[in-house]
Amino acid sequence: MMREVEWLSAHATDADKRKHTVEREAPRHYLDRDAPALTCLDTLGYAPWYSRAECACTEDTLWEYGVLPWQIQWSQEKLVEAFDAKDREAILRAAADLGHYVADAHVPLHTTLNYNGQLTGQEGVHSLWETRLPELYGGGYDLVVEEVNYISSVGDWAWGVIGESHGHVGPLLHAEMELSKSWDGDDRVREERGGIMSLQRSEPWCAAYEHALEGMVEERWRMAIQGVSSLWYTAWVDAGEPNLGRVLGASEPRFRPFRRSCRKTLQDSIAHPPVP
């Protein structure tokens, strides 16, 4: 299993890399729940199916403001299919993608139009919350999760996570704004990242912000781990609990680059996503 763990860790960001090469990949990573254009969802119930949402809002509107909760469902279905087929390569790919989308759903700023504080003069808050704080304090987080759970309705679960994350948007923006107003002195430092010098929030300022958030980043990170584990387990159960010892005991998969025919098939599936 160690090879699989290493592969999943190395490819956890593959979905992000596709944003620049695959049409409609970017909207799979967010849902602008506060977009006025998405009030069309309000009459559809707690966790609307994509087909109903498309009728109410139009396809273009959904893909403009994000399809993250539906993407979690679609990725879950792909993982079930991969487990059912006992296809090691497909299992690893589907598991990595599902894990990425689930993690995105736990990030509050993936649920709002003000995703980087650009609407409130707080540019850079996204990387501050998602990257800077975990880099500085993640080593001290308690990321041990409870026993994994079977999730009977992936759609309800995904919309619940989006709702919880969105509830943190106001507090995290307010905390950043209030701290910036009250901070005495310079709150930024120059640091080298990937051979490039950039301005980062200073460690003393970040420590104060981490304290003001009262464990928010740690809690969302731990919940993401819990969610990914539970959905992987759920997919395995829904596929009939295949013997993974035999499946994952195969030789190391050879991940072939997309040929044009494969890329066309992928583009077609993005243009016409499966309906839950």
What is residue 4's predicted lDDT score, i.e. its pLDDT?
86
- Residue-wise pLDDT tens digits, 65-103: 999 999 999 999 999 999 999 999 999 999 999 999 999
Q: What percent of the chain clears pLDDT 90, i.e. is strictly above it?
A: 79
pLDDT band for 263, please (50, 70, 90 cuts).
very low
Residues in Cβ contact with 64 at an 8 Å cutoff, skipping those fewer than 6 apart: 27, 37
Reported pTM: 0.87
pLDDT band for 48, please (50, 70, 90 cuts).
very high
Mean pLDDT, the chain, integer: 89
pLDDT at 1 over 90: no
Q: Which of 76, 85, 65 is nearest to 274 (CA)?
A: 76
- Tokens (6 digits) for 159: 């919309």
Widest pairwise Cα distance in the chain? 60
- Tokens (6 digits) for 254: 């050879």
Give the residue extent of every domain in the chain. Answer: 2-118+139-166+216-271
What is residue 250's predicted lDDT score, i.e. its pLDDT?
52
pLDDT at 272 over 50: no
- Residue-wise pLDDT tens digits, 2-26: 688 888 989 998 999 999 899 999 9
**First-last CA distance in the chain:** 31
Write the DSSP symbol of residue 129: I
What is residue 246's predicted lDDT score, i.e. its pLDDT?
77
Q: Which of 177, 178, 219, 163 is nearest to 34 (CA)?
A: 163
